[in-house]
Amino acid sequence: MSFETTYPDHVAHLQKATEAVLAAQGYEALVICGGAAQSKNRFDDQSWPLCPTPTFTHWCPLAEADAFLIVRAGRKPTLVRTVSDDFWETTPPPESEHFWAQFDVVEVEPGHAGDVLPGGKVAVVTRDPGHAPPGDVNAPALVGALDAIRTKKTPYEIECLAEATRRAVRGHRRTEELFRAGPVSELGIHLAYLDASEQDDPTAPYKGIVALGAHAAVLHYVAYERQRVAADTSLLVDAGAKCNGYGSDITRTYARGNGAAKFAALLAKMEQLQQAVVARVKPGMQYEDLHDETHRLLAEVLRETGIGKGSANELVDRGVTRVFLPHGLGHSLGVTVHDVGMKLRPPRPENKFLRNTSVIEVGQVFTIEPGCYFIDGLLKTLRGGDKERLVDWKLVDELRPFGGIRIEDNVCVLAGGNRNLTREAYAA
């Protein structure tokens, strides 16, 4: 399958779905702004690489400042590009040319997009509402309806996410080799990951997490220490890659040396747990039920490794598993890493960080990322009360220097089950 063959159907699908939204909400046209160049600092003259409005990327992978899409019923969509003779800057070319033929392409000089943008009752979606063209800007009902279209992926989008996953897996393989070979620094691993996955840091789907040892207990650790570590330790790498604007999101955790043997045993159990959760992904289930099931499985792991004491029910019901796994089981993937439209109702209070409360449906792509961490600030909530007896504190103290574990795959829902894009990329 190539992007040339799947992309026309993707745009046709978006056109049909968007026409229905516009008709239902009484709009004559939709203008989607890619976005303006954004200054890094008002006292300096550099800009960030453009990170377009996600709705724009949903239609078109072009990452170019001051581009606009115009969508109207019964007409081929228009792509408006702003071109200038700037000899200071240039935009990197798109990685693939498959998209041009699906648009009427119009070029304007800087500041002249208004000459070609539609009048009448117009809906506007933009990441820069301060510089929006005339129209109803980011109206919640319209944005909600467009977000809903993003929850189920077309074959084109699944192919982009599969390729983004393959690229990230090349980076993860390199980081594992480095870690197993000898002394490494977090910064060195981060740079090696970017090199192997052929990315520059600011255009990665999110800032890669590279945590040696106890740093893995900080869930979004991106401080990248320069110091090389030779000791028996752990490594957690949570990093993705992009393809045509679609991002993957993969986490792997490793243990090195005899000094990490108890942590390695826990890691092996968590690997089994993660695969057991992925195996349960099927259409019709509530994603939140899968999250709850993960806590029951984690309670068993805590008991089998000796970290948790008492019954599995007790470890779940008394909130012990939520100390070891405070975040959600996963989130939707797409043109944003935590993709939209999957949390139309809040989760139950004990699952407050869960980003997906939808029914699992064919065409969804989401992460399955259970973890088990030794976070001092959360562990202390179990100390000194009647929950203290539910944990082997001596063992926890032995494991604390290894920080924690997260194993994260990208999963696409099929009629009979699911396709694990990450394991598929590793197996290739």
Residues of span 229-248 touching Mn ion by CB under 5 A: none
Among 154, 253, 367, 422, binds Mn ion (CB under 5 A): 367
Closer residue to Mn ion in complex, CB, 77/208? 208
Closer residue to Mn ion in complex, CB, 194/407? 407
Closer residue to Mn ion in complex, CB, 136/249? 249
28 Cβ contact partners less than 8 Å away, ≥ 6 residues apart: 22, 72, 118, 120, 121, 122
CB of 238 to Mn ion, least distance (A): 7
Provide DSSP, 362-375: TT-EEEE--EEE--
Structure token pair of residue 6: 């799947």
**Residues in contact with Mn ion, total (CB under 5 A)?**
2
Closer residue to Mn ion in complex, CB, 29/250? 250
- How many Å apart are CA 107 and CA 86, to the nearest integer? 15
- How many Å apart are CA 134 and CA 118, to the nearest integer? 9
Closer residue to Mn ion in complex, CB, 21/168? 168
State the maximum Cα–Cα separation within the chain, in Å, rounded to a whole number.
71
CB of 42 to Mn ion, least distance (A): 32
Q: Rule CB under 5 A: is residue 249 a binding residue for Mn ion?
A: yes
Closer residue to Mn ion in complex, CB, 55/367? 367
386 Cβ contact partners less than 8 Å away, ≥ 6 residues apart: none
Part in contact with Mn ion (CB under 5 A); list of ranges 50-58, 155-163, 280-288, 359-367: 359-367
Part in contact with Mn ion (CB under 5 A); list of ranges 88-96, 219-227, 367-375, 382-390: 367-375
Virtual CA dihedral for 35, 246, 207, 81, nearest 10 degrees?
A: -20
Closest among 357, 149, 359, 365 to 249, alpha carbons compared: 365
* Rg of the Cα atoms in the chain: 23
Closer residue to Mn ion in complex, CB, 233/367? 367
Closer residue to Mn ion in complex, CB, 175/367? 367
CB of 330 to Mn ion, least distance (A): 6
CB of 167 to Mn ion, least distance (A): 16
Residue type, 243: C
CB of 241 to Mn ion, least distance (A): 13
Instruction: Name the residue whose CB lies closest to Mn ion.
Output: 249
- How many Å apart are CA 100 and CA 340, to the nearest integer? 26
CB of 414 to Mn ion, least distance (A): 21
- How many Å apart are CA 125 and CA 57, to the nearest integer? 12
Q: Rule CB under 5 A: is residue 102 a binding residue for Mn ion?
A: no
CB of 46 to Mn ion, least distance (A): 29
Residue type, 27: Y
CB of 355 to Mn ion, least distance (A): 9
284 Cβ contact partners less than 8 Å away, ≥ 6 residues apart: 359, 360
Cα angle 248-251-253, degrees, rounded to a multiple of 5: 160
74 Cβ contact partners less than 8 Å away, ≥ 6 residues apart: 19
Q: Rule CB under 5 A: is residue 159 a binding residue for Mn ion?
A: no
CB of 55 to Mn ion, least distance (A): 21
- How many Å apart are CA 67 and CA 245, to the nearest integer? 15
Closer residue to Mn ion in complex, CB, 163/249? 249
Site string for Mn ion, 252-271 (x = CB under 5 A): --------------------
Please give the residue ranges that form the binding site for Mn ion (CB under 5 A).
249, 367
